[in-house]
Every structure is written in structure tokens, then in C-alpha cells.
């Protein structure tokens, strides 16, 4: 007989993802086993939980009622288990962590040695990617995201500010002049960042809320901040990038900040995890570690 709680977990995942195959991938099960779990529930209950067709999967009325009950029961089970071990069990196992590429290389990877020294029983499985991953379907425990977050289904903790600076190499400014106003940017080679969309490369945002949009153009566009930094250091043009990327170059004088009278939008560095469950000890440990490391002011903003 299949375990009833496991079958509930499988059913909830199928309902959330709308697909047996997606649920199988997320749970690391075969599609056949996922089907067996749902069939076992339907047999035990004597009701049909899902309408299946070649193109869609929808809940029956009984399925909707049972889903609500399953979510409540599973949340209570998880909360009971988490409460029992809260602040008592050392974080252990594997923490699957997804981080933006440049921020990960510059701010997360250098911190992992210290973190591991505190939690030697915990292994970090680090994924570096600039795309927004699906935490549930792809099995990530925690992600670091930068910007203004729109997905209200996630549990979010703000870890640090993310300030933006417009800057260029002294050689570029000597050759082309220093912009004094936002209108002056039309006369400069502005190197564009193409994430999350190519349209971003043609506009820079100013003002605390990013409500001042300035059209720009330039001879280079890239989907990676380090590439734009290298081009700016070589004197190719101006860049509009986070201080966690350009801070060291501003401090040593290889880049000069311009347009300081026109503040750029301020974003945030956030830890995000799926909602509907209490964060496991390994997630709490890493989130607290980063919050302490970045407080009260992140190192990348010091002396700027």
C-alpha cells in the first residue's frame, strides 16, 4: 500500500503544476509512480479528483475540496516537524542555492568558506544563472534575487540595498566630456544591459522609484554586467550598473561616477523561498548568515 501522506504530497504537486510529468520531475519520481499515487487516493476516497485530457488537467469539485484539506494537513505536519527541531538540529544535508551570475561570483562565492566553517555538515549546491528559476519545479531551496519582486507567492526577506551608479573610465571622460544632465546622455556611448529584456539596453532609469526614463544608445549591448564593466574600464563608454559590480573600480579610481545629482533607482537584494512551509534549518542558517554579513551596510557600498 502506498503511503497516504506521500500520496497527498504528490497530489498537491500535480494540482500546483497542472501536469503529471512536471510533478514527477519536481519530486524526482517516475511519471508512472505519480499516476499510481493519485490513483490510490481516488480508489481510497471513491471519488475522481482530476479531469484528464490530452491537453489539460483540471480539478473536479471533489478534487478542489480534497486539495484544500491536503494543503492544510501537510502544512500542519511540516510545521510540527519543524517546531520539534527548531533551533535544536544542526543544519545538514544539501542546500540548493540559486544566485545571479555576477552577484554570485563577487559576493556569495567568497562568503561560502566562512559559512561552511560554521556548518560543516551542510553542502551547498550552487547554481549561477541570471534567469528567474522556478524554485518548486526545479527543486531549489533558496534563491537570491535582485530588483523589485512581483511574485507574491514567494516568501521574501530583504538582505541589502542594491544601488545603481552611472560611471565611465577617466580616459573616456577626457575624450568625450562628462555628462552634467540626463539630456547629455544622448551625446554619449551608453553601454546597454539586455536583461531581463533587450528593451532595457535602450533606457536607463533614474529617480528613487525608477520613474524617470532616459533613452540611451551605444555600441555595445550585453547580458552580463562583468562584460560591460570590462568595456567601460577599457574606455568604450558609460555604464549604468550596481555598486556591487562597480564599487571596487570607483574606489580605486579606474571608474568615475557621474550624474550624482540625479539618483538612480534603488533596488534590493532579496532571499526568496517557496511559500506554504516553514523554512528548514539550512535555509534559515544561510539567510541569517547573509543578513549578518551585509548589515548594517554591505561592503560593496562602503566609502562610495
The string of pLDDT tens digits covering residues 76-90 is: 888 777 766 654 567
Answer for the pair 243, 301: CB distance below 8 angstroms, yes or no.
yes
Determine the Cα–Cα distance for residues 287 and 280; give it in Å rounded to an integer: 11
Residue 276 pLDDT > 80: no
Same fold, 93-161+267-301 and 163-265: yes
Q: Which string of b and e fits 33-44 if b means at least 16 CB within 10 Å?
A: ebbebbebbbee
Mean pLDDT confidence for 163-186? 96
Bridge partners of 256, per DSSP, are 168
Mean pLDDT confidence for 18-27? 91
pLDDT digits (tens, 9 = 90+) for 48-58: 999 987 777 89
CB count, 10 Å around CB of 5? 12
* 163-265 CATH: 3.40.190.10
Query: The C-alpha cell of 180 is what?
Result: 552634467
Residue 294 CA neighbour count, 13 Å, CB half = 19
* 93-161+267-301 CATH: 3.40.190.10
* Beta-sheet strands, E only, within the chain: 50-52, 57-59, 93-99, 122-128, 142-146, 154-168, 192-193, 203-206, 212-215, 221-222, 239-242, 256-258, 266-274
pLDDT digits (tens, 9 = 90+) for 231-260: 999 999 999 999 999 999 999 999 999 999
Query: The C-alpha cell of 299 is what?
Result: 561592503
CB count, 10 Å around CB of 87? 7
The matching CATH number, chosen from 1.10.10.410, 1.10.10.10, 3.40.630.30, 3.30.1330.10, for 4-85 is 1.10.10.10
Determine the Cα–Cα distance for residues 233 and 253; give it in Å rounded to an integer: 10
pLDDT at residue number 84 = 63
Q: Which of 38, 57, 82, 8 is CA-nearest to residue 279?
A: 82
Query: The C-alpha cell of 298 is what?
Result: 554591505
Q: Which string of b and e fits 12-26 if b means at least 16 CB within 10 Å?
A: bbbbbbebbebbbbb
Q: What residue spans define the domains of the chain?
A: 4-85, 93-161+267-301, 163-265
**Residue count (the chain):** 304
Determine the Cα–Cα distance for residues 284 and 282; give it in Å rounded to an integer: 6
pTM for the whole structure: 0.69
Distance of alpha carbon 265 from its chain centroid, rounded?
19
Amino acid at each position: 500500500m502506498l503511503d497516504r501522506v506521500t500520496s497527498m504530497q504528490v497530489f498537491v504537486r500535480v494540482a500546483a503544476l497542472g501536469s503529471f510529468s512536471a510533478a514527477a520531475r519536481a519530486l524526482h519520481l517516475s511519471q508512472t509512480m505519480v499516476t499510481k499515487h493519485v490513483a490510490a487516493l481516488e480508489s481510497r476516497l471513491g471519488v475522481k479528483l482530476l479531469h484528464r485530457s490530452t491537453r489539460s488537467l483540471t480539478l473536479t469539485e471533489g478534487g478542489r475540496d480534497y486539495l484544500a484539506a491536503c494543503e492544510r494537513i501537510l502544512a500542519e505536519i511540516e510545521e510540527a516537524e519543524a517546531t520539534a527541531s527548531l533551533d535544536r538540529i544542526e543544519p545538514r544535508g544539501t542546500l540548493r542555492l540559486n544566485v545571479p551570475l555576477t552577484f554570485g561570483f563577487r559576493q556569495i562565492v567568497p562568503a561560502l568558506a566562512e559559512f561552511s566553517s560554521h556548518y560543516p555538515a551542510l553542502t551547498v549546491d550552487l547554481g549561477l544563472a541570471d534567469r528567474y528559476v522556478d524554485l518548486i519545479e526545479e527543486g531549489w531551496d533558496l534563491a537570491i534575487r535582485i530588483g523589485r519582486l512581483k511574485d507574491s507567492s514567494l516568501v521574501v526577506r530583504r538582505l541589502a540595498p542594491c544601488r545603481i551608479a552611472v560611471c565611465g573610465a577617466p580616459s573616456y571622460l577626457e575624450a568625450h566630456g562628462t555628462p552634467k544632465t540626463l539630456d547629455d546622455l544622448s551625446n554619449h556611448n551608453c553601454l546597454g544591459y539586455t536583461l531581463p529584456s533587450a528593451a532595457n539596453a535602450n533606457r536607463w532609469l533614474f529617480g528613487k522609484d525608477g520613474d524617470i526614463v532616459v533613452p540611451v544608445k551605444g555600441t555595445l549591448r550585453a547580458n552580463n554586467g562583468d562584460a560591460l564593466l570590462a568595456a567601460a574600464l577599457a574606455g568604450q563608454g558609460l555604464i549604468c550598473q550596481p555598486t556591487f559590480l562597480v564599487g571596487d573600480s570607483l574606489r580605486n579610481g579606474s571608474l568615475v561616477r557621474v550624474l550624482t545629482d540625479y539618483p538612480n533607482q534603488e533596488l534590493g537584494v532579496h532571499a526568496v523561498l517557496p511559500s506554504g512551509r516553514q523554512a528548514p534549518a539550512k535555509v534559515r542558517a544561510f539567510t541569517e548568515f547573509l543578513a549578518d554579513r551585509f548589515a548594517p551596510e554591505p561592503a560593496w557600498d562602503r566609502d562610495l
